[in-house]
Amino acid sequence: MRRRDVFYVAFFTAIAAVGFINVATGGLMNHLAVEYSPYHSHGEAEIDSNEIIISGDGSADFTVENMERFTYSMGLDSENISEMSPVPNFDFDPSPRTGYDSLPPTYRWNFQTPAVEASVSFDTSDVEPGTYNYTLKASGGSHTAEEDLTLVVE
């Protein structure tokens, strides 16, 4: 065999071995890359805010620390639970890697992010007056943090 052929065989065998190890270990290579990433955080998820209360078409800002996944749920103690309940609009910095088109939506980052600046707002133009309660949920590591959000529509 020529040297070039030996090189190609060795190179592609090494690539296949790394791929096999990654699959066999359930993503060990990705885990190691994230584990030693300068952006990776090891703490528990935390939502930095007091109770969030929004009136009408207002908005609120808050920070979420050590987060990998974010979602919300609507409280059963809301005065007006209906199909016309207002859906929160979230803006994040840094932006999530992906979002799932579910109701409620789930937003995901590549790895546990040390700090995410978030803003939430509502369009209440077609919403019945009342009080709507939500629970914000941020997951990171083995911990899920929750924070209450109240929307008052007059």
Mean pLDDT along residues 58-86:
77
Model confidence pLDDT, tens digit, residues 96-112:
998 887 878 899 988 78
Q: Which domain holds residue 16?
A: 3-35
At 93, is the pLDDT very low, low, confident or very high (cuts 50, 70, 90)? Answer: very high
Higher-confidence residue of 129 and 21: namely: 129
CB 109 within 8 A of CB 66: no
Higher-confidence residue of 3 and 76: namely: 3
Rounded Cα–Cα distance for residues 132 and 106 (Å): 20
Residues 25 and 51 in one domain: no
Burial 125-134 (b: 16+ CB within 10 A, else e): eebeeeebbb
Q: Has residue 33 got a pLDDT over 80?
A: no
- Give me the count of residues in the chain: 154
In a domain, 41, yes or no: no
Residues 76 and 30 in one domain: no
CB 45 within 8 A of CB 65: yes
pTM higher than 0.85: no
Q: What is the pLDDT of residue 153?
A: 85
Residues 84 and 132 in one domain: yes
Residues 13 and 84 in one domain: no
Rounded Cα–Cα distance for residues 109 and 134 (Å): 22
In a domain, 52, yes or no: yes
Q: Has residue 36 got a pLDDT over 50?
A: no
Number of Cβ atoms within 10 Å of the Cβ of 57 = 14
| % of residues, the chain, pLDDT over 70 | 79
Cα 47 → chain centroid: 12
